[in-house]
Amino acid sequence: MDIGIGTIIGGIVCLLIVVLVIWAVVSYNRLVRQRNQVEASWAQIDVQLKRRYDLIPNLVETVKGYAAHERGTLDAVIQARAGAVNAAGSGPAGRAEAENVLTQTLGRLFALAEAYPNLKANENFAALQAELGNTEDKIAYSRQFYNSAVQSYNNAIQTLPTNIIAGITGFKAKEYFETAEGERGPVQVRF
């Protein structure tokens, strides 16, 4: 049997094509998994934010009973909550901005509670405050997890050679969920 040079070159070319196709499929599947991880981690942020939204009306009602004449602060919290709920359809940047406003108004609400000893002693207020603090911790963790997933995904679609597959198949960079510069964690109030 006489194997010609053309046959050997043809076999090598076929082998290279098979290797490239396998690499492209593996790369694409990895990008899909990373994109899905980003979307799942965003859903976790959404769950925690909805939990936060559900706690706020109860907190406002509790404060209203003790500090009803502090209407401006209570209205600001209610408006900030509504703004955050309405921002639910926007991307991470718009959502983060609305959440930062809400966090700031909650801080003012808790600072207001300092002026009312009976409110500070109220078990319902203390329980709601503790639950909100716990939720804030979960939001911070969810943000961290989301941003880590976004970093891994963005690195994958922007580095060689995977960026070739990402460009061909339409994968786009995701936004980070960033907090305001002044925010360094959950709302904290000392009693």
Is residue 16, in this structure, part of any structural domain at all? yes
Range of the domain at 52: 5-169
Is residue 179, in this structure, part of any structural domain at all? no
What is the Cα–Cα distance from 111 to 50, expressed in whole angstroms?
23
What is the value of pTM for the model shown?
0.80
Q: What is the pLDDT of residue 191?
A: 37
What is the Cα–Cα distance from 83 to 75, expressed in whole angstroms?
12
Is residue 39, in this structure, part of any structural domain at all? yes
Is residue 185, in this structure, part of any structural domain at all? no
* CATH code for the domain of 142: 1.20.1440.20
Mean pLDDT by runs of 10 across the 191 residues of the chain is 84 96 96 97 94 92 80 90 91 90 90 80 86 93 96 96 94 88 48 37
Q: What is the pLDDT of residue 43?
A: 94
Is residue 176, in this structure, part of any structural domain at all? no
3-state secondary structure labels for all residues of the chain: CCCCHHHHHHHHHHHHHHHHHHHHHHHHHHHHHHHHHHHHHHHHHHHHHHHHHHHHHHHHHHHHHHCCCCHHHHHHHHHHHHHHHHHHHCCHHHHHHHHHHHHHHHHHHHHHHCCCHHHHHCHHHHHHHHHHHHHHHHHHHHHHHHHHHHHHHHHHHHCCCHHHHHHHHCCCCCCCCCCCCCCCCCCCCCC
Q: What is the pLDDT of residue 146?
A: 96
Q: What is the pLDDT of residue 90?
A: 85
Q: What is the pLDDT of residue 1?
A: 57
Long-range contacts at 93-101 (CB < 8 A, ≥ 24 apart): 93/175, 93/178, 95/49, 95/177, 96/177, 96/178, 96/179, 96/180, 99/49, 99/139, 99/179, 100/179, 100/180, 100/183
Is residue 184, in this structure, part of any structural domain at all? no
What is the Cα–Cα distance from 113 to 85, expressed in whole angstroms?
24
Q: What is the pLDDT of residue 99?
A: 92
Is residue 187, in this structure, part of any structural domain at all? no
Is residue 189, in this structure, part of any structural domain at all? no
Q: How many domains does the chain have?
A: 1
